[in-house]
Structure 1
Amino acid sequence: MDINESSPLLTCRNAENTAHFTGYADDIPPIKGVNDFYTQFAAESKKLWYLAAPMIFTTVCQYSLGAITQTFAGHVGTLDLAAFSIENSVIAGFSLGIMVGMGSALETLCGQAYGAGQIDMLGVYMQRSWIILFVTALLLMFFYIFATPILILIGQTEDISRLAGKMALWMIPQLFAYAANYPIAKFLQAQSKIMAMSSISGVALVLHAFLSWLLMLKLEWGLFGGAMVLNFSWWFMVVAQMVYILSGTCGQAWSGFSWAAFNNLWGFVKLSLASAIMLCLETWYFMALILFAGYLKNAEIAVDALSICTNIVGWAIMIAIGFNAAISIRVSNELGAAHPRTAKFSVVVVVFYSIIVGCFLALLLIIFRHQYPAIFADSLEVQQAVYALTPLLAVCLVINNTQPALSGVAIGAGWQAVIAYINIACYYIFGVPLGLILGFAVDLGVTGIWLGMLTGTVVQTVILVWICARTNWDKEASMAGERIKKWSG
């Protein structure tokens, strides 16, 4: 296909392509009056929830794999729970942040290319991302191999470090499943093929829950059984999604393996690194929270309590990531199709729903504050510590349900590099030092650490809202057109 013919500028031919591929033939007209706003809000809500609902289900299912293993580990023993929490939050969390972050470059390119009608480039982009992520996984594997000395070096107790290091070795297959899965996910998301991902993730979750109970508790394999089930569940999703793609359901988007995947790899690496830095800084922020708790008095109880809270926040964030993926698809598709007003309005709608859902989840937590700690741990000390953190946890659910949606806007528009700088300032120059001061100098313990770091997230969220409000969306649509020309060439 000639580049000039596939340009996202508003030519007659491209309008036909856009209508065919995205279902949106024209940009929305300027909104005049309350009735006009309500009509457009209802229409955009329908489009958003069509994407968000199955994506929320998918992300909750995928996150629940580790969360279920962590829950069963809490019934194996407190040391097992602490070791799995450290491995899952620090070792796997570090790697997951890099993998998801580098994969988000694919989210920007695939989404905008799909909106512009350049369907044949999606498969090439996915293969480029595979190459980069598998090489990255090979490098990250050493982090798994030397997990025990690394954890001891950063101050974790020897017992927790040794067991977490052993767990990390067992989890190396999951690392390579991450490398395979996230490019596939972005490839399918860009085409709005969400139901297939949801179905596969749902089946994986059911199998995972049963096998985890069987191996970890019934057969008493403990953490080794949990690791084997986690590896199986992630590779099951990868294989099932590839079968779906290879069956021909993606049409022009997948035309087979191509040598074109090796073209412009360095440029793709640079774009992926910018995306990785943006998302890694967010993922590692929670990882740091668990690490700092390990330096407190009675570290095992502190780590257990905080890991349960971050587990719950993680489930809530998976709902928010459903909005993140949906708004990324909406913004990237509409910018690629040169529909700036539609892209801007979709941001308003997603922020509204993310706040409402966050408040609902916080209310549920407060209502069941006496019951939920026992689900995650048998220790009364741990349960009491979790109960004490409930008010802060409720506030965190509201903030952390809104922030990922705004990050999705950034991914859809291709702002990863700018947001990375904002994350550094808000999280690590402001949030982390404030948390350490409140936690250790003011002696507020876990509550102080979390309160300081939550403040950093609030500041970052306010800045993202301000950026979205000040954005020239016509200019963003023009930049999307230039980006598509560059990467398709």
Structure 2
Amino acid sequence: MSSTYVHYSTPSSLPSDYAVLSRYAAARGISPDQPEGGPTSNDTFSDTAEDANDMPSSEEAPLVTNKRARRSSFPTAYVTPFNPTSMGPLPDKTGHRSGPAAPALSENTPLLAPLVPRILEEVDGEDLNPESGARPNVVWEEIRILTKYALPVCGTHLLEYSLVVASVISIGHLSTTALAASTLGSMTASVSGYSIMQGFASALDTMLPSAWTSTQPQLVGLWSQRMAVVSAACLFPILLIWFNSESILLGLKQEPEVASLAATYLKWASLGLPAYAFNGISRRYFQSQGLFAVPTRIIMCIAPVNALLNWILVWGPEPVRLGFIGAPIATAISFNLISLCSVIYGVWFIPHTAWHPICRRSFTSLGVLVQLGLAGVGQTASEWWSWELVGLAASMLGPIQLATQSVLLVSASTTFQAPFALGVATSVRIGNLLGEENALRTGYVVKAAMLMALAVGCIWSTMFMIFRHSWAHLFNDDSSVVSMVAFILPIVALFQVFDGLGAVTAGILRAEGKQFTGALLNLSAYYVIGIPFGLWLAFSKNADLMGLWVGLTVALVYESLVSSWICLRTDWTYEVEKVRRRLAAEQKAGAREDAEAAARHAR
């Protein structure tokens, strides 16, 4: 895979994230038959319409019963009732909602509402009084929660890195031409395929976590199905590019032999592209429910299989040895195995509370996902593509600079996994709180996540500064490379602080549905400020590779500071209201479909 794919990717092939209510129950040693003061399955709660303007007519508001069968796999002690009547500007003793006050009850209000499954954190029911001023204990509570969420995510991404390493090592020992072709092929795959699929899948970061903790957790499955439809449509133009890549690469003045091998690489890698797209959806399907450990377990099983497949298919016995094409085939098989494991886990090992039956609604409201997805492509792909441009510029400076760039980028890619995992955890936590309509605590989550990002960045910066004169020896013993790495590492150390902060704020923006804002920030940061400035320093001012990294650092300083300002000024009460309106619209659409189905059945 290309360096860019390593640094700025969230490969769905290796889901990232998870921990269930049932495991939470087991960890606390509480029997499902002995509720911990929670409501029993026979309790009922009143509910209101999501918005006074969206209230159904009296004909559309029949009495409904608690749909216990759909959530029967959850112990009642870990199912918290959704009680909008307790929601107001300030939470009370019976609830912790902090969104706008709900409308008054009327004759149109359904009498009974279903129980709500959720990611249960003990602190969520705490009474947060905004008049009490700063609450450092709340920030520490959120730091502990985010750490718990982020650790398995980080483990997943580090294990995922092993898939990249296995492919590079297996091909790298064939020949220099083979290594160049695999690099070109994987770079093309990242730019034209993987980054696009990841960008579209990022729309689910907005939709799924808030749906899971709402009164309609089955919307998690519905939105996942809709994204599968959108992703399937995106596959066709991507595959068209991949299967015609040789002529495209020749048009870009690549060497004929390298272009031919790269095109072959892409054709075989296409076998794993549908699975890659599916994994991006399944990963978010799991993580929205708090199942952060699931992908870690899956990748722990698949990573050694991938390494074995690379050895067998590239270097194995004659009957099964395929040589160059063995590496992309091994990667494709690994992606498909991860998809298969995800399906098995989702069908047989977790409750189906989040699932929605496949129906006509699975093909509706696709425009919302396309709009968010296109903005997500701008947010995600702009970073991936910028690193490819920097790598191309480094190759023009000479072999020593290119080798140094490889060392620096692999180093930054590895350290980036921690703040990126924190960004994923923050996105899930904020989405869940928005679904619970807990606006007050969401503000504390933002502050806690930013503090953690700064702390992690400072740790990595300190490490680079302490070992900067010996760091390059981990990768290369060439004295010129070692000295150049030591010369540039201080700016890379500064880079860590803002890179981590940017990763976390990007997760916050995704949780809010502000992918378009993130895309504008990235595009302006990299293509208007950072890269032009870096190229000017590198080639006009003879700053060489140092100039490129100064430009990248300037871009990240701008992007992280502006995005932090946006996140800190967010009106979370308004964000809660946005979620309420979205859920109300889905509820009305579901009611219409049920009525139509009942009418068809009656006829």
Is the pair's TM-score, using the shorter chain for normalization, greater than 0.5? yes
Name 1:435's counterpart in structure 2: 534
Where do residues 148-163 of structure 1 align in structure 2 (5 Å cutoff)? Answer: 148-154=246-252, 156=254, 160-163=258-261
Task: Please say if residues 76 and 217 of structure 1, whose CA atoms lie closer than 8 Å, have aligned partners that are also in contact.
Answer: no
Q: Return closer, same or farther for 1:149/1:183 CA change in 2, 3 Å cut-off.
A: same
Name 1:22's counterpart in structure 2: 119
More helix by share: 1
Name 1:204's counterpart in structure 2: 302
Q: Return closer, same or farther for 1:163/1:283 CA change in 2, 3 Å cut-off.
A: same
Q: CA deviation at 1:127?
A: 0.9
Task: Please say if residues 534 and 549 of structure 2, whose CA atoms lie closer than 8 Å, have aligned partners that are also in contact.
Answer: yes
Q: CA deviation at 1:6?
A: 6.5
Alpha-carbon distance in structure 2 between the residues aligned to 1:3 and 1:259: 27
Task: Please say if residues 116 and 215 of structure 2, whose CA atoms lie closer than 8 Å, have aligned partners that are also in contact.
Answer: no
Structure 1: unaligned runs, 5 residues or longer? none
Q: Deviations over 1:90-115 (max 9, x none)?
A: 43244222111111111110111112
Q: Deviations over 1:345-371 (max 9, x none)?
A: 111111111222222233334455466
Task: Please say if residues 59 and 321 of structure 1, whose CA atoms lie closer than 8 Å, have aligned partners that are also in contact.
Answer: no
Task: Please say if residues 140 and 448 of structure 2, whose CA atoms lie closer than 8 Å, have aligned partners that are also in contact.
Answer: no
Alpha-carbon distance in structure 1 between the residues aligned to 2:176 and 2:482: 12
Q: Deviations over 1:195-217 (max 9, x none)?
A: 11111022222332344355546
Q: Deviations over 1:27-69 (max 9, x none)?
A: 63337467x41x2123212221221111111222224322442
Question: What is the aligned counterpart of 1:468 among 563, 567, 578?
Answer: 567
Task: Please say if residues 111 and 332 of structure 1, whose CA atoms lie closer than 8 Å, have aligned partners that are also in contact.
Answer: yes
Name 2:237's counterpart in structure 1: 139
Name 2:273's counterpart in structure 1: 175
The normalised TM-score by structure 2 is: 0.72
Task: Please say if residues 18 and 115 of structure 1, whose CA atoms lie closer than 8 Å, have aligned partners that are also in contact.
Answer: no
Question: What is the aligned counterpart of 2:325 among 205, 219, 224?
Answer: 224
Alpha-carbon distance in structure 1 between the residues aligned to 2:254 and 2:393: 9
Task: Please say if residues 26 and 339 of structure 1, whose CA atoms lie closer than 8 Å, have aligned partners that are also in contact.
Answer: no
Task: Please say if residues 213 and 433 of structure 2, whose CA atoms lie closer than 8 Å, have aligned partners that are also in contact.
Answer: yes
Q: Return closer, same or farther for 1:405/1:18 CA change in 2, 3 Å cut-off.
A: farther
Alpha-carbon distance in structure 1 between the residues aligned to 2:432 and 2:534: 39
Name 1:101's counterpart in structure 2: 199
1:319 to 2:418 alignment = yes
Q: Return closer, same or farther for 1:89/1:259 CA change in 2, 3 Å cut-off.
A: same
Q: Return closer, same or farther for 1:450/1:480 CA change in 2, 3 Å cut-off.
A: same
More off after superposition, 86-95 vs 208-217: 208-217
Q: Deviations over 1:131-185 (max 9, x none)?
A: 1112212211123223344344445555554443332222112322221110111
Q: CA deviation at 1:377?
A: 5.9
Alpha-carbon distance in structure 2 between the residues aligned to 1:347 and 1:91: 34
Q: Return closer, same or farther for 1:341/1:12 CA change in 2, 3 Å cut-off.
A: closer
Q: Deviations over 1:392-438 (max 9, x none)?
A: 43333332222111100001111111222222221211112112211
More off after superposition, 410-419 vs 369-378: 369-378
1:328 to 2:328 alignment = no
Where do residues 275-314 of structure 1 align in structure 2 (5 Å cutoff)? Answer: 275-294=376-395, 296-298=396-398, 302-314=401-413
Q: Residue 22 of structure 1 aligns to which amino acid in structure 2?
A: I
Task: Please say if residues 48 and 84 of structure 2, whose CA atoms lie closer than 8 Å, have aligned partners that are also in contact.
Answer: no
More off after superposition, 457-466 vs 206-215: 206-215
Name 2:5's counterpart in structure 1: none
Alpha-carbon distance in structure 1 between the residues aligned to 2:482 and 2:268: 29
Q: Deviations over 1:290-332 (max 9, x none)?
A: 23334x143x654454244323322222222211110001111
Name 2:364's counterpart in structure 1: 263
Where do residues 333-348 of structure 1 align in structure 2 (5 Å cutoff)? Answer: 333-348=432-447
Name 1:11's counterpart in structure 2: 85
Task: Please say if residues 469 and 483 of structure 2, whose CA atoms lie closer than 8 Å, have aligned partners that are also in contact.
Answer: no
Q: Return closer, same or farther for 1:438/1:481 CA change in 2, 3 Å cut-off.
A: same
Alpha-carbon distance in structure 1 between the residues aligned to 2:161 and 2:184: 16
Alpha-carbon distance in structure 2 between the residues aligned to 1:111 and 1:412: 8
Q: Residue 330 of structure 1 aligns to which amino acid in structure 2?
A: R
Alpha-carbon distance in structure 1 between the residues aligned to 2:436 and 2:323: 51
Higher-RCO chain (CA-CA 8 Å, sequence separation at least 6) = 1
SS of the counterpart of 2:216? Answer: coil
1:242 to 2:343 alignment = yes
Name 2:4's counterpart in structure 1: none
Task: Please say if residues 47 and 84 of structure 2, whose CA atoms lie closer than 8 Å, have aligned partners that are also in contact.
Answer: no
Name 2:158's counterpart in structure 1: 60
Task: Please say if residues 432 and 452 of structure 1, whose CA atoms lie closer than 8 Å, have aligned partners that are also in contact.
Answer: yes
More off after superposition, 354-363 vs 385-394: 385-394
SS of the counterpart of 1:336? Answer: helix
More off after superposition, 183-192 vs 206-215: 206-215
Name 2:58's counterpart in structure 1: none
1:417 to 2:516 alignment = yes
Alpha-carbon distance in structure 2 between the residues aligned to 1:9 and 1:287: 50
Task: Please say if residues 434 and 576 of structure 2, whose CA atoms lie closer than 8 Å, have aligned partners that are also in contact.
Answer: yes
Q: CA deviation at 1:251?
A: 2.2
SS of the counterpart of 1:22? Answer: coil
Q: Return closer, same or farther for 1:144/1:307 CA change in 2, 3 Å cut-off.
A: farther
Name 2:353's counterpart in structure 1: 252
Alpha-carbon distance in structure 1 between the residues aligned to 2:305 and 2:127: 44
- CA RMSD in angstroms comes to 3.1
Q: Across the two proteins, how many residue pairs are aligned to each other?
A: 484
Alpha-carbon distance in structure 2 between the residues aligned to 1:48 and 1:27: 20
Alpha-carbon distance in structure 1 between the residues aligned to 2:150 and 2:128: 21
Q: Return closer, same or farther for 1:251/1:149 CA change in 2, 3 Å cut-off.
A: same
Q: Residue 364 of structure 2 aligns to which amino acid in structure 1?
A: N
Structure 2: unaligned runs, 5 residues or longer? 1-45, 52-81, 88-94, 98-112, 590-603
Task: Please say if residues 82 and 303 of structure 1, whose CA atoms lie closer than 8 Å, have aligned partners that are also in contact.
Answer: no
Q: CA deviation at 1:242?
A: 0.8
Task: Please say if residues 167 and 310 of structure 2, whose CA atoms lie closer than 8 Å, have aligned partners that are also in contact.
Answer: yes
The normalised TM-score by structure 1 is: 0.88
Task: Please say if residues 139 and 448 of structure 2, whose CA atoms lie closer than 8 Å, have aligned partners that are also in contact.
Answer: yes
Alpha-carbon distance in structure 2 between the residues aligned to 1:31 and 1:75: 65
SS of the counterpart of 1:253? Answer: coil
Q: Residue 167 of structure 1 aligns to which amino acid in structure 2?
A: Y
Name 1:119's counterpart in structure 2: 217
